[in-house]
Amino acid sequence: MSKHALVSFKRDKHIRTEITLTGSKSECNRALIISSLSKGKVKVENMSDAADTVTLNRILNSLSSGHPQRQTVDVGPAGTAMRFLTAYLSVQTGDFLLTGTERMKQRPIGILAEALKSIGASLSYAEQNGFPPLEIKGPFRQRSEKVSIKGDISSQYISALLMIAPALPEGLRLEIEGELTSLPYVKMTLDMLKESGISYTWNNNVISISSQPFSGATLTVEPDWSAASYWYSIAALSEQAEISLPYLKEKSLQGDSRIREIMTAFGVATQQTAKGIAISTAEKHFDGAVLNLKDCPDLAQTIIVCAAALGKNLAFTGLETLKIKETDRIAALQAELSKIGVVLTEDNLIYTLDCSGLNFPQRVRFKTYEDHRMAMAFAPLALLIDEVVLEEMNVVEKSYPAFWQDLEKAGFIVNVI
C-alpha cells in the first residue's frame, strides 16, 4: 500500500534552520557517465544520494563489456539515466535491452535514438517506435561525425551526445537546430568535460569535439540547487525565515541556481556566507513581467505553486518540456491548483495564473502523479493550510531522499498515513 504524508505546521511561521542538501543529481549523473567513459581516470566526489543517481551508478558498476549474452538494463523511473545510457551503451561492446517503468515507456526517446543511428549506432525499438525499450548492440561503427538535433527538446539528448563524443573514432560535430532550451545544462556538460581534459569548440550553433582521451581529474559535485528551490518557497511563504544552505556556490554550473534571482521578487534575499548561502525574508516586489523559465524548467512547479499560494497572477513561458517529464506537469499543476481555487491557463505557450478564487481549505489532498517535484512543490503549502496530504510520499527519493526529515528539522510535522 502506498504511503502518504500528512504535513502540518503548528507553531508560529518563523523558520530558522540549517539544511545540508544532497549532491546535485544533474551534476552527479553527468560525472558518473564521464567517469565510466574515462575508464576510471575521472573520479567523482560528493555523490548524490538521489534514487536516479543510485540507479545509474549501480547500472554502470554492473555492466559487463563484451558479455556474450544480452544484458537487460532497467532504469526504472530514472529519465536522465534512460537518456544518458541510450548514448553510453551505443559506444560499448555488447548486446543490451534498455528498459524502464511503464511510464518510462511512454516518454519519447526517438529524437536521440535517431540521431545516434545517423552516426552509426546499432539501435532499434523493442516495442513502439520512438519509445523505450531499446535494443542496442555494439561495438559502435561510426559512419558520420555530423549530427543535427533540435534545440527546443530535452537538453539531456544533447548532453548525452556530447559526453560520448570524445570516445567516438571521428569525434562529433553537433549542430543545434533552432533555439536552445535549457542552455545552462548544456554548458554544465561542456564545463565538466573540460574539467576532465576534453577540449571543444562552440561556434554559432555548432559544437565540435574531436576524438581524444580523458585526463585524470576529480569532479566534485555541488549540492542540488533544485532541492534548494523548495527552501526558497518555504521562506517566501513564511512570516520570517533564516535558512542556511551550506556548500552552495555563488558561481554554479547548475541552471537552477537562477532561483536566487527569481525569488527576490517573492521576498527572499540570498547572502553568500563562508559556509555557503543563507536565505531570509525580505520585501516582495512583483513587476508583472512574463517569467521565462526556458533555462530552468525544473523550477517551474516550485515557482508556480508558490506564486499561486501568494495570490499572484503571474505569467510564465518556456515550459514546453514539462509535458514529457515524469508526468504531464502542466496538466498535473492545473488539476492540483484547482483544489485551492487557482486556474492555470495556456495561451500560445504563455501560461497564466488566475488566483481570483484562491482559498485555503482546512485540509487538502494533493496527488503527486509519480513525480517527485509535485510532492515537494506542494508540501510548503502546509504553512498556509492546516493539513496537507501528499500522496505517494516516497516519490521524493528520486532526487531528495531526506526531504521529509529536513521538513521536520525546520519545524514541520510529517505523519505517515
Q: Which sequence positions are flagged as catalytic?
A: 298
Q: How far apart are the first and last CA of the chain?
A: 10
Distance CA 393, CA 379 (A): 10
Pairing of strands 206-209, 240-246: unpaired
291 touches 314 (CB < 8 A) = yes
Q: Give backbone dihedrals phi and psi of 406, rounded to 5 degrees, phi first.
A: -70, -35
The secondary structure of residue 223, as a DSSP letter, is B
Q: 387 CB contacts (<8 Å, ≥6 apart)?
A: 6, 7, 8, 362, 363, 364
Strand, coil or helix: 73: strand
Pairing of strands 146-150, 172-177: parallel
What DSSP assignment string belongs to 12-35? -SEEEEE--PPBPHHHHHHHHHHH
Kindly compute the dihedral angle of the four CA atoms of residues 364, 370, 372, 374, in this order, to the nearest 10 degrees: -40
Residue 361 preceded by cis peptide, ω within 30 = no
Distance CA 248, CA 269 (A): 15
Give the length of the chain: 417
Identify the bridge partners of residue 48 per DSSP, sorted by sequence position: none
Identify the bridge partners of residue 387 per DSSP, sorted by sequence position: 363
* Amino acid identity for residue 224 in this structure: D
172 touches 145 (CB < 8 A) = yes
Distance CA 260, CA 79 (A): 26
Distance CA 341, CA 46 (A): 42
Closest to 360 in 3D by CA, of 333, 335, 379, 387: 387
CA–chain centroid gap for 266, Å, is 22
